[in-house]
Each structure stands twice: as C-alpha cells, then as structure tokens.
Structure 1
C-alpha cells in the first residue's frame, strides 16, 4: 500500500521524490567527490544490491555529515536522501526537545516506528547534536533537565540498535534488496558535542567531513551562482580572481555576496540590465566571510 505524506509538529515523511533531490544537487558546487562517496553509501546498495551482497556489504546503519556552518551539509544530505528514491523522514533536532517530560523520547520513538512501517527508508536528522549531546555536558543544567537529555539520548541509541536487530532477523533480507533497511543520515556543525556512544560501529559509523571551501571550490561556487545572473564582460572575466580572494566565505556567504552585488546594481539604477565588477567590489566592502575564524583555527582545513 502507498503511504501518504504525514506531517506532525516534529517530523515530515516525504514519499520517494528523486527529481527533487537531483535539482537540489545541481545547485551545489565543488562537492563532487563528497557527493559520489555518499552515493556509494546511501544510494548504490539499493540500486545495485547484487553487487554489494556479492562482497558481503550491507548499507550503513548511520552516516553523519559534519563541518562548519554554511558549507551545504543540510542541502547535501536532503538532496542525496531524496535522490535515492527511498522514503525520507526529515527530523529537525531542536524541534524534538520538549519541556514536557517524556515527549521528546516519544517523538523519537514515533519517528523510528514510522521508519519501520515505510522501509526501506532514510531518517534525515538535522542538527543531531541537540538530541545526541555528550552526557557529561548535561551536568551543567538542572537535575531534571540533565535526566531529560539523557532519556532522549538513551531512546535514540535504543531505537538505532533496534533497527540493527530488526535487519538481522528480518526474512525480507533474503530478497536481496535490503528492503527492510533504515539508514540514519545526520548533520552537525558541532561533532565534538556528540556523545561517543552514537559514533560507535553499528550506529553513526560513517563520518563525512565538509571543510570550508578551498580556492577552487569557491571559484566553482561563485561561477554556479553567477550563471543565474546577467554579468558584464569585465565581471565575467574576473570571477576566478574574485572567487580565489574569498577565503573564509562559505557557500551561503558567496550566495549572499552575489545577492548584495545585484542589489548594488539596482540601487545605482533601478533599471540596471547587468551586474558589473564595481558592484561586486561594493558588495565585498560590506560582506564578510562567516568562516574566517574557523579557517584561522583550522589552517589545514580539518
């Protein structure tokens, strides 16, 4: 039977929307190698199950994409999940946390119950650190608050382990299509906040790092964004130089820079037909890269 899209205040079920994922991936730039690596983990086992079974390989139980803010983690995870052709349950970590005792744990259990009913399925968790925080860090809060966070984490770990047990015992595994598989695909900007227990094998054991964009990636991102704009000749010729100068800029920062350059053109002339180099120069005067501090702390990009 076909499961209809279900909405609650905490999570959303999307039914097999691969075209949406493809269009989202087309909006990304400079992440080709990362995209291919994630496709092998998330999509290929379901597209070519016989190849994976021949080597004794199963889909991963969990993947976490981490890196500084604004580098495209959430868009990448969402795009790949939807492109997979599997059912996708989207969960925003902070929305799970409730002041009502027990509600957060119930919400997590509901997500996994729905995942089991709609398998094969991907559970997409954005900002997972909010529900999988290190247990030691809870000691700062009140006693009840600390216990509440511990209960949420314990529920999440129990449900993840339950998925593993289910897949091992399921008769559907014999069909050679991983039809009972549930993959947790998570994102975080604060991997050091995650409890070590959730990163153990059989849980979120695949870790994909997305650093601040390199010089070539910044040029690629800027070129992609500018392809949607009408630029003057002098501006087109300078894109590689501008992109190389944007150290500390995330993909989101570069998108904002392009927006500011277009607005500078319109402020100068409301009927402007193109964006010129001088407009980018004005935008650079007021736009700052949000990752400047991160780059300074991580000179090797890790």
Structure 2
C-alpha cells in the first residue's frame, strides 16, 4: 500500500469518527491539572487540511498562506476532532455575511452552519464541537482577498520539561525520529512483536512512556489498535490497550531520511502513558502486539 494511498485512506476514515484514547490515569490527570495545554493555531497550507477548491497560496508580505475568492468561489478544509477553524483577514475587516460556511459529518452531506465573529473585527471562528473530524466548506458571497485559515490544536505545556532523563531499552534498536516542524530528532527505540525489550529502573520513580505505531505497507485502515504488555521483574504488571490513528499534523522522518531527502514514514500519533514504579531495583519488560517506536522518560 503506497504512502499516498495511506494518507487518502486516512482522510476518509477520519470523517467516520474514531474512539478516543483510554482515559487518563491518576498521574496523568495530576500533570494535566498542573500544566494545562496551550492553544495553538496552525496555518492551513496544503493537504491533508486543505481538501478541495481554491488552494492556499503563500504571500510574503503577510508571512502566511491565504486564499482569495471571487463571488461563488469555495474552498474545503478538514477540521480534526475537537478542533476549531479560524478565518482571518490580516489587512481588512471580515464579517460573517461575506462567507457561507457548510459542515459535513459525512462526505457530500453539507449543512449550513454559523460563523462567530472574533472581537478583533478581522476573524471568524467555527467550532464544530465534534469528537470526530469533519469537512468544512467556505463559499464566498462576494469577492474577497487574502483570507488566512487556521486549525486549532492543544499542545502539552510544561510536563515534558520535567521528564529529562531518557532511559535506554535493552534488546531494541535506537533510532532518531523527527517531525517536520521540530528542530533535531528525538531518540526512540524500535520494539517489535517477538523481540522483547527491557529497561532497568530504580524506584520509586515516575516515567512517561511514549510510543508511535509503525503503519506497515499492508495497512488498510487508519484507525488501529495495539497492546503493550508490561512485566515488572518478570511478573505481569500492566497491559496498555491503545487506539490510535495516523499522524497527519506534520510529516515524520525516521533515521537519516530527512538529511537524505527521503520520504516521510507513516506512523501513528504520539501516545503517552504515565507509570509509577515502587521503591527498589526493577526490570521493566515490554511485549508488544505490533511494531512500535518507544521511549521512556524518567522524572
């Protein structure tokens, strides 16, 4: 299955709705309360967020991608689950009457929705309030130029700064993973079924376990389930049942692919679980149901 087909399949499946990741445990909830996530806005530049119609173009004097409409022109964008769409006109006023907004939970079934005016007089906001991705079509009621489109996301704030010590995994290959919008690569370990990996830890300690699913060439669905069985000192300890989907925010490069000009790899979203180990010397062993990139960060 080609990477292009995986991305197209991902777009289709996103619109069908997907279950959320398992609920937060006590440690994760405490960290979230101490360090609430920050709201960020990403400029819509191209696919997968831009889907059809007038394509965003980069304007140097504005420093962002924008769309310009003649009367009756339209553009369609993908808004992820629990995200918002913001339409901004940096160099002029923007009123809701200028655009007709339509939303589709199912491809092709668009319904009119209302845009909310921002307090600055230059922005309109649409909050679908959906637990799944939707398509939003904007249709110009009159000619209008230089509209920038932004998709919201919440970024973890603060907790990762406290997890500075990376724990090596015995029996696993170390690789560098770089998201296109990040400086430098993050070190992960490749863990595969039938090839147990382990880490040596001294408790009491709290660790963040981060993992990404590797989508194989035969993957037929964007939404995937996998398990991570954790054995503490040779005894079954915890089983993590994970539901994930394809990472579509930014391309991800593994190893030297970025420097060599190679293509991005199809990986799952970055999932994080928090573990608290009791006092003493421990061996934490991993058994996985699918190939993963994994890393352990100790507090």
TM-score by length of 2: 0.28
Higher helix residue share: 1
Higher strand residue share: 2
